[in-house]
Structure 1
Amino acid sequence: MTQQRASRACDPCKRRKIRCNGQKKCQQCTHIGLRCTYAPHPVQRARKERRRGSVIAECRTWSSSGSVPSSIQSHPNPAFFLDFLPSYIEYVYPLSPVVTEAEARDMILHMNDCRDAASFAYIFAAVTLNLGRSDPLQQESTKRDQISILLTRSLEHRRPFHLDSKPGITDLMTSLFTQMCSIGLRRLDLGFLYLREAISLLYMLQADLDDESAPRWQRAYWECFMHERFTALTYQRPTCLTPLSRLPVHDPSLPEHVEDGFNHNIMNFCLVDQEFLHFLMGDRSGVTVDWIEKKQQQLEDTDWHREVSRLPEILQADLIITRHWLRTLTWQIALSNTLLSSASSPGSSLLSLSFPLRLSNQLRQFLRAIPRDIVAIHGSGILEKLFEIANTITDVVLHLHCAPGNETIQRIHDILFLKNFVFSFAGFQALRPAVLTQKFEQIRLKYPEIKEIELLL
């Protein structure tokens, strides 16, 4: 059979004078990693001798120099990206205090001249959209599409690393923001890939540290450490980073509340040591009552709670929900090793079977005291934590013996509040909500005399 000739060749194949299959991403360009483009209107021009390898040579020059060829300079107006700066400073930077507003602005203004700047500008917009805006349920699919497009554009403009490459802090944060957006889109393996890339860049940057760059490198290290610990606890991925010997060096350029909030977040995840990971993800036969009680004391540190209560609500939300989540995971470790008792007195410790029920009441009081949008801007990570807490609480209600009437009603009210709270977030629909829905039905069957249970369904 004679192969049908393509009616039109792409621009790189025309210039190289080779056969093109006419597809959107033709076989020739895909094979050597060129950007496959089609000019909208062919321009008649005099024939000119040109070597076939010149286009590939241009691509290699572009890759090594970082300059952007004219064929892909079709960026939106810089105002599109600059409009994200206020939200970035308000919602993203307090949790990720590495790339400043001035640096982000500079990258945006140079994105037509530099591939790295273009890649950062797109992922900067994507991560800000992911964390900085709480949209109604009906707009969630549109928002996810926007994030996906921005993430794709960022990846298209990324410059490959070469033997003489010298990455900077923005390259590292490009990888970390890519990880965050990938997780938000439920592309977990892609997220893990770019998290490990960010960690690799940490070590490449470490060789060129000076007194001025050390604080930012330390904050970037700790941020990678926290993301890696969260990924291990939530998605069962291995870890490779160990905690630094100290918190980041004080940086007078940081707002005081941003520095305090970031350091308290580090303290949260430092409690997730290798022993904690081993017990949660592996063999729990070595778990002892002493270990559980020591971890409980660390998690219930009154000084920590007092200090956090003085921070802005946007930082409190992440810190306090994270700590409730860690207390829930610690309780699960104790439960799996049969270290819990049925005692449920007010003074009972984390070793009580009913501990998550008291935890749910504390969490309910906290969530009622802060605006819902304050929780929403933290993205899918905080929803994962709330899901795990709600899932554990429903298990306890299902498997504990029926309590006296008023206590049982209180439990149901707490669960009903958490159910309505977490299901109100658009992103929660991607976190296995059917699991909780099935458990709500089981609770309804267990307590048919309580009318409020009907509201769970």
Structure 2
Amino acid sequence: MKRTSQACEPCKRRKVRCDGQPRCQQCTHTGIPCTYAASPPRRSRKKTVGRGRVVAECRELHTPNNGTKVRNILAPRPNEDGVITSHSTTTFFLEQLEKYDRYVYPMSPVVTAAEIRDMIFQMDTHRDIASFVYVFAAVTLNLTCSESVQRGPETSERIATLLTRSLELRTPFEFNSKPSIVTVMRSLFTQMCFVGLRKLDLGFLYLREAISLVYMLRIHEKDAMRDLEDKERCRRQRAYWECFIHERFTALTYYRPPCLPPLSALPDHDPSIDAELEEGFNKTIKNFRIVDPQFLDFWLGDRSTVTPDWVANKQQQLDNPEWVTEVSRLPMIWQADLIITRHWLRTLTWQIALSNIILSSSATPSMLLSLSFPLQLSNQLRQFLVTIPRQSVGIHGSGLLEKLFEIANTITDVVLHLCYALGDDTVQYIHDILFLKHFVFSFPGFADLGPINLTQKFEMIRDKYPEIKDIELLV
């Protein structure tokens, strides 16, 4: 081995020859972090620490909080019985690729299944590659195991295990570290998994990490993006917009403050991806661009300045027959996400209007200014849901269920607070609620949202209208 003028810190302490590379051969072999001091201090030979102890100490620096030490990159982990679990095999990861390509990539069109396949076969070459592969598998399971037979406790445990392994394998950001589009998506997938496991604070942490990484990539700077190849520039723009979408959803659902502004334009056209996928993703962006700073200010803060004109403008943006026609031509997975999101945003806009505007009990030019608007919305939603496969909703994970939860919660509030009236309209509203209740409760992930208050409201509706046929089915 060729001598070098400066050895890394672990090699100096162990008194072994270092090749001076950014990650030297000795540290690579022992699986420990490789670091260099700016000006190496002189050390007495008497104070030299034993080689084995240094390796142990360096590994300890890379030990997660639970005390489990990181082994070599692909070392399988035994379960409580000492049996090596099968989820860390190459075959397991390869089996997830088809589901990822069919269900995950269309909604997160940044890292392709072909790229992930290459990473699976390179997992033993770099910790960060292995870390991404583990979180790819975790997010794929999180989004595709929506049926009760699949989404048992063992599925959540497997997702958590894969996620933990991904976090263990991460290398820390150091002075000269540079992010990549893969590290951005690793953080975003981590956020999605934590939200699916109802670890919302951790989800917010990794969402902010993903946003920090897109800033480090300078995706918002046209000059920095100009020199990139067209394909790479387009997918970086899509990664930025996906962070924007997730943050807007988080702000509206979990009341977390947003910080990421929209880009000045949609992602550039990318001929390398499917045209329907590109159109669906762009329409998702447009949905969340409606959630502008004013919308966020009203939702998260003071609503005293909400005006009928503002409400009418949002109604016009959200209720567009031409948009509905365009969406109806897209695959069902996109229709489910786009149309339910529109219904959800219309529900939130109505709630904002309710805070500062006297709503009418009769029909109004703007439906959003009517007290009965959520009930009319529930009927529209029911007519849509009966036309699509159930899986088209479940495949979106907890995000779409959260939106349906908010819609159902608002509808039940309206029924409870409107004056008692046992007419045909009321019967129709109750049946719409019955349908929505059975639909959303059929997804095992819905129970994780803690719908106990919603169940109590169903009981109150049953007690209020005992004469209605099938009302007992509401509870």
- The TM-score with structure 2 as length reference comes to 0.82
CA deviation digits over 1:410-453, x for unaligned, max 9?
01100000000111110111112111111011111111211321
Give ranges in structure 2 of 5+ residues lacking alignment: 1-12, 15-30, 34-48, 64-68, 77-87
Distance 2:210 2:418 in 1: 44
1:374 equivalent in structure 2: 392
SS where residue 71 of structure 1 aligns? Answer: coil
Which position in structure 2 is the counterpart of 1:149? 161
Cα deviation, residue 396, structure 1: 0.6
Q: Which residue of 1 aligns with 2:303?
A: 284
SS in 1 for 2:367: coil
Q: Secondary structure at the match of 2:427?
A: helix
Secondary structure of 2:470's counterpart equals helix
Matched, 1:181 2:193: yes
Q: Which residue of 2 aligns with 1:215?
A: 234
Which residue of 315, 327, 333 corresponds with 1:314?
A: 333
Could you tell me whether the CA contact under 8 Å between 1:344 and 1:352 is conserved in 2? Answer: yes
Post-superposition Cα deviations, 1:249-290, rounded to whole Å, max 9, x if no partner, equal: 000111001100000000000000110011111000010000
2:260 is matched with which residue?
A: 241
Number of the residue aligned with 2:367: 349
CA distance in 2, matches of 1:233, 1:418: 22
Residue 56 of structure 1, CA deviation? 4.2
Q: Please state how far the C-alpha of 1:137 moved relative to its aligned partner.
A: 5.4
Partners of 1:87 and 1:128 within 8 A in 2: yes
Inter-partner Cα distance in structure 1 for 2:136 and 2:73: 19
For 1:360, the equivalent position in structure 2 comes to 378
8 Å contact kept, 1:137–1:425: no
Alignment of structure 1 residues 95-174 onto 2, 5 Å: 95-136=107-148, 139-174=151-186
The residue matched to 1:206 in structure 2 has which SS? coil
Post-superposition shift, 1:217?
1.1
SS at 2:51 equivalent:
coil
Contact 1:344 1:355 in 2 (8 A): no
SS in structure 1 opposite 2:261?
coil
Question: Could you tell me which amino acid in structure 2 is paired with residue 77 of structure 1?
Answer: T
The within-5 A match list for 1:38-53 is 50=51, 52-53=53-54
What is the rounded CA distance, in whole Å, between the counterparts of 1:339 and 1:281 in structure 2? Answer: 20
**Do the aligned residues in 2 keep the contact of 1:108 with 1:118 (CA within 8 Å)?**
yes
Give the whole-Å Cα distance in 2 for the aligned partners of 1:435 and 1:384. 14
Asked whether the 8 Å contact 1:137–1:426 carries over to 2, the reply is no
Match of 1:258 in 2: 277
Structure 1 residue 342: Cα displacement = 0.8
Q: Does the alignment pair 1:410 with 2:428?
A: yes
Residue type of the partner of 1:295? K
The structural deviation recorded for 1:364 is 0.3
In structure 1, distance between residues paired with 2:333 and 2:156 = 23
Partner of 2:404: 386
- 1:221–1:49 CA distance, 2 compared to 1 (3 A): closer
Out of 90, 93, 100, which is 1:78 matched to?
90
Q: 1:224 aligns with which of 243, 246, 253?
A: 243
Rounded to whole Å, the distance in 1 between the matches of 2:385 and 2:159 is 28
The structural deviation recorded for 1:402 is 2.7
RMSD of equivalent CA atoms: 2.4
Q: Distance in 1 between matches of 2:405 and 2:58?
A: 52
**1-side partners of 2:123 and 2:358: how far apart?**
57
Query: How far apart are the structure 1 equivalents of 2:455 and 2:296?
Result: 29
Shift of the 136–61 alpha-carbon distance from structure 1 to 2, 3 Å rule, reads closer
- Return the offset for 1:49: 6.3
What is the Cα deviation at residue 61 of structure 1?
11
Kindly provide the amino acid, as one letter, of the partner of residue 442 in structure 2: S
Q: 1:327 maps to what in 2?
A: 346
Match for 1:252: what amino acid?
A: P
- 1:304 is the counterpart of 2:305: no
Q: What percentage of aligned pairs have identical amino acids?
A: 64
Q: 2:456 aligns with which of 412, 435, 438?
A: 438
- Give the drift of 1:146: 1.0
Post-superposition shift, 1:139? Answer: 4.2
Relative to the length of structure 1, the TM-score reads 0.85
Q: 1:323 to 1:255 in 2, by over 3 A?
A: same
Distance 2:359 2:167 in 1: 49
CA spacing shift, 1:137–1:331, aligned 2, 3 Å: farther
Output the CA distance in 2 between the equivalents of 1:146 and 1:447: 44
Shift of 1:99: 0.3
Mapped to 2, the partners of 1:69 and 1:399 lie a distance apart of: 57
Contact 2:62 2:70 (8 Å CA) reproduced:
no
Structure 1 counterpart SS, 2:338:
helix
- Could you list the structure 1 runs, at least 4 aligned residues long, displaced by more than 4 angstroms after superposition: 54-62
- In the alignment, which of 161, 175, 194 is matched to residue 206 of structure 2? 194
